[in-house]
Structure 1
Amino acid sequence: RYLHAEGYGILSFALAFTGMFGILSDIGFYELIVREVARDKKLINKYVENIATIKVIIVVAVYGLMCLVINLMGYPTQTIVVVYILGLSIVFDAFAMIFNATFQAFERMEYISLGKILKNSMLLFGALLIISKGLGLVSFAVLYLIASLTLLIYNIIISIRNFTRPPRLRVDLKFWRWLIKEGVTFWATGVFAVLLNNVDKVMLSVMVGDTTVGLYSAAYRLVSTLDFIPLAFIASIFPVTSRLFVSSRQSLKFAFERSFKYLLIVGVLIGSIFTILSDRLIFLIYGEDYIPSANALRVLIWSEVFLFINMVFGNLFKSINRQVVVTYAVAVATTLNVTMNWLLIPKYSFIGASLATVLARFLIFLLFFILVMKSEYRMSNESLVNILKVLFALLMVSAFIWVLKGTGTTDSILIATLSLLVYALIIVALRLIDSTDMQLIKGLIKS
């Protein structure tokens, strides 16, 4: 609200732009640490020290390249300065992620959560301070930089106290070659995923303008806040599924199918609620200036539904050392996304970008589904029936909403509440949740 659509558009562009370069600093190291250290905890210092050394070299090159590109693009001085500062925050984040991977490998996700709470609390209270002082856009970029540095310091302290020795540089060229060779497919997946999540904002900025980016980003940011649900879920099971691939593939298949069912049920529920409440949510959070964003939110929320279930597929492929499948799928979807943005943005503006995002994530789902059905982890008939049951529940809720609106009911809060109850009753009636599910869910919530 404080920055208005144009200022928020500049900040969103800068975050997207620096994020696209930030992924170049990892080369798949995060997933490698989690997967390999989860299997053998004694390897942690070897991985952390070698990867930190490699990153020192990479981040210098990446930051220089980013500064060169933003200057060549001809943006105003203010935008360039914001990119410079946010780029430095990406450098700190690159090293912080090494320790986040360490926490995940040891299945101590509470440290990751506390770090996120610390960083986001700083962003929140820092933003309130900036607003109260009437400071400008550059101040927000500086705030991101301070928050990222604080997170890195926190991560280092927690890691030294619990998991690793004090950080040091370590050069093992033979191990470096293995790291890069093994991590490149994880890295390629990350590159395409970041492009998929950010190229729309960059294209909107170039093809339309900062105000449009602000309107689109308002809806996109609201949707992306839901990422924590599948991310937390997958973070809690990835070390486990990586071990199950070695010890019990039947148990791995069981974990995959149950995970798919849970995130499908939750994703469809959230999609329905956000579709109903889009106008209220946008007005409540962003204010009257952003009302056009509600239309984008109605579309984008369904891309999030596909993200929920795609992450389950992705976790399976990474756990069985077939991360290259994820890379190919995301690469194809990113190509589609760029093409559809190029075709749709000139005519439909940010609604076109929203449609392109949904289509891209649907394509990932389709490719993952086909590949899983051809593998030894083929989904059982029961799981396929469960998909149909969830779609039936969605159809019934849609019909219920249509009937409610036909009676003259216009209160979106009331409609959403009643729809939630109807959805829950249908899920129970169709026996989608059993006693085994309840025990597993309790354990997952605890973890």
Structure 2
Amino acid sequence: MEKKKAKISIPVGFKSAIVYLFATVFTRGLAIISTPIFTRIMTTDQVGMVNLYSSWYSMITVVSTLALTSGGFSIALREFEKERDQYVSSVLSLTSIVAIGVALLYFVAPSFWNNITGLPTHLMILLLIGLLVAPARDFWLSRQRFEYRYKLSGTMTTLSAVVASGLAVAAVLYANNVDFSDIASVRLFANYSIVYGVALIIWFSIFIKGRCFYSPKYWKFSLQLSLPLIGYSIASQILNVSDRLMISKMVGNSAVGVYSTLYTVSSLSLMVWTAINASFEPYLYQNMENPKSKIKKLSMSMLGMYSLVAILLVYLAPEIVRILATKEYYKGIYIMPPIAGGVYFIAVSNLYSDILVYLKKTKMVMISSAIAAALNVVLNYIMINAYGYMAAAYTTLISYIVMALLLSIWANREFKKYITEIDFVYDNKLISVISILTLVISLFAILIYNYAIVRYAIAMCVFVATALYGVYYLKGNENLKKNKV
């Protein structure tokens, strides 16, 4: 008799990683596809206003969510494994109370806050709505990733991105045809009506399912982990957006439009890291103390592949900018290598901060990011005044390097104190080598941007290396594939 062929079973952890990677890349891809439309219809001032809104939202949401959507959320899901519905409902009520408090604070003196943020009242109201409902979406997606329930979340993420991007493009085109002046607001309202609408549905569903609005046990556990992370999250956001906020005040929104657009292009590689790390993090937390785990191999494969993607992006930067933007943006192309280098060190920081979160040493995470953020603000003030807004790219790079170094030192020290079964989960020497090479190769691109053939040759080599490294990563992913919640 003919033997039946064995059915190949693809583990759920691996499926989840692939789906989240696709959803993230697809979502960011839509943003990139729509960029040429916006940069050709909207002025740099209008693009600057859109990015100013995003920057302030990122800053304020850190406080309003109490950093409850940070790494401590995964720790809590493991701690309250049989009470997850109640736990999520409880912490969502906490973020909702804070969001309402922020809204009341705004409406006491709206003109005062409008002057500080540079945003008009209608955009501030849109921002406040987001502060209330968006945490529900973040909690839900984080839980889906933790539990490797990828089908519904992947579909929802993809579809909502398609509808939001499509509606934003259509609304901007229509507003331009009828000569409507405030195109920035049209774009923001069109996009976020979908994003916040989906979040509102999830907001209600979490409360209906969990039916737990207050729990001292859940609140105490979460706040002990998250409160120190508020400082970290605020500092991280200062690192991420202070350059744009300071450029807006010191130079103008037109400069913000150029800088932020090129910053977005330079950080495209981060979407690859974000997607991969989102699936790796649960495995890391569940196997941190397992001597037989493949954490070291997986993490170094991830970082190496991400490094290659970041370098490839830098060497193709001139072509990417020509496709996505107009000549107004070309003058800022030389800031892309240092920005890409800084973004790479975000990934390095993530690796080490995850360890400190696991060990519940979140104060160290906060201190390191606060030092880097303070350094960034001081350097921005000095360098932007002296050399113009492009200097902010280099100050941001320096600050991210400092944060990564501090986190690596403290993570190694604390790990050795509490976990003695293994030396360390990461290969520190290899991380150092990859980091130095990434930085040197990225900055070298500045010297050869005008030599297309040389750039293409290097880009081709990096592309081949990325493909080979990607295959190696997938083949070495056996432990992650087998891991199930």
What TM-score does the superposition give when structure 1 sets the normalisation length?
A: 0.83
For residues 210 and 216 of structure 2, the distance between their equivalents in structure 1, rounded to whole angstroms, comes to 18
Write out aligned runs for 1:27-426 (5 A): 27-30=66-69, 31-66=71-106, 68=109, 71-72=112-113, 74=115, 79-133=120-174, 134=176, 135=180, 136-153=183-200, 155=202, 166-168=209-211, 170-173=213-216, 175-245=218-288, 248-251=289-292, 254-255=294-295, 257-374=296-413, 375-376=415-416, 383-387=427-431, 390=434, 410=453, 412-421=455-464, 423=465
The match for 2:477 is 440
Offset at residue 342 of structure 1 (A): 0.9
Offset at residue 70 of structure 1 (A): 6.4
Amino acid at match of 2:191: Y
* Larger RCO, structure (CA 8 Å, separation 6 or more): 2
What do you get for the CA RMSD once the two structures are aligned?
A: 3.7
Matched-pair contact (CA < 8 Å) for 1:185–1:323: yes
Matched-pair contact (CA < 8 Å) for 1:71–1:80: no
Matched-pair contact (CA < 8 Å) for 1:122–1:147: yes
Q: What CA deviation, in whole Å up to 9, does each residue of 1:97-145 have, x standing for no partner?
A: 2222322332324544333323321232012211331252211121233
Offset at residue 393 of structure 1 (A): 6.6
Return 5+ residue gaps in structure 1 as ranges: none
For residues 398 and 57 of structure 1, the distance between their equivalents in structure 2, rounded to whole angstroms, comes to 45
Tell me, what secondary structure is at the counterpart of 1:410?
helix
Return 5+ residue gaps in structure 2 as ranges: 1-38
More helix by share: 1
Matched-pair contact (CA < 8 Å) for 2:338–2:397: yes
Offset at residue 178 of structure 1 (A): 3.9
Distance 1:444 1:332, change over 3 A: farther
What TM-score does the superposition give when structure 2 sets the normalisation length?
A: 0.77
- Aligned pairs, number: 432
For residues 66 and 14 of structure 1, the distance between their equivalents in structure 2, rounded to whole angstroms, comes to 15
Offset at residue 175 of structure 1 (A): 4.1
Matched-pair contact (CA < 8 Å) for 2:86–2:212: no
Distance 1:155 1:73, change over 3 A: closer
Matched-pair contact (CA < 8 Å) for 2:448–2:455: no
For residues 310 and 82 of structure 2, the distance between their equivalents in structure 1, rounded to whole angstroms, comes to 43
Matched-pair contact (CA < 8 Å) for 2:164–2:192: no
Amino acid at match of 2:94: I
Matched-pair contact (CA < 8 Å) for 1:296–1:351: yes
Amino acid at match of 2:198: L
For residues 338 and 107 of structure 1, the distance between their equivalents in structure 2, rounded to whole angstroms, comes to 39
For residues 394 and 443 of structure 2, the distance between their equivalents in structure 1, rounded to whole angstroms, comes to 24
For residues 238 and 380 of structure 1, the distance between their equivalents in structure 2, rounded to whole angstroms, comes to 16
For residues 64 and 438 of structure 2, the distance between their equivalents in structure 1, rounded to whole angstroms, comes to 41
Tell me, what secondary structure is at the counterpart of 1:292?
helix
Matched-pair contact (CA < 8 Å) for 1:276–1:415: yes
Matched-pair contact (CA < 8 Å) for 1:53–1:170: yes
Distance 1:329 1:444, change over 3 A: farther
Q: Identity rate of aligned residues, in percent?
A: 14
For residues 382 and 244 of structure 1, the distance between their equivalents in structure 2, rounded to whole angstroms, comes to 13
The match for 2:64 is 25
The match for 2:15 is none
Distance 1:41 1:288, change over 3 A: same
Distance 1:177 1:372, change over 3 A: closer
For residues 238 and 218 of structure 2, the distance between their equivalents in structure 1, rounded to whole angstroms, comes to 29
Offset at residue 12 of structure 1 (A): 0.7
For residues 396 and 190 of structure 1, the distance between their equivalents in structure 2, rounded to whole angstroms, comes to 28
Tell me, what secondary structure is at the counterpart of 1:24?
helix
For residues 52 and 80 of structure 2, the distance between their equivalents in structure 1, rounded to whole angstroms, comes to 41
Distance 1:295 1:176, change over 3 A: same
For residues 396 and 327 of structure 1, the distance between their equivalents in structure 2, rounded to whole angstroms, comes to 29
Matched-pair contact (CA < 8 Å) for 2:74–2:146: yes
For residues 382 and 51 of structure 1, the distance between their equivalents in structure 2, rounded to whole angstroms, comes to 32
Amino acid at match of 2:199: L
Distance 1:181 1:39, change over 3 A: closer
Offset at residue 14 of structure 1 (A): 1.5
For residues 112 and 194 of structure 1, the distance between their equivalents in structure 2, rounded to whole angstroms, comes to 26
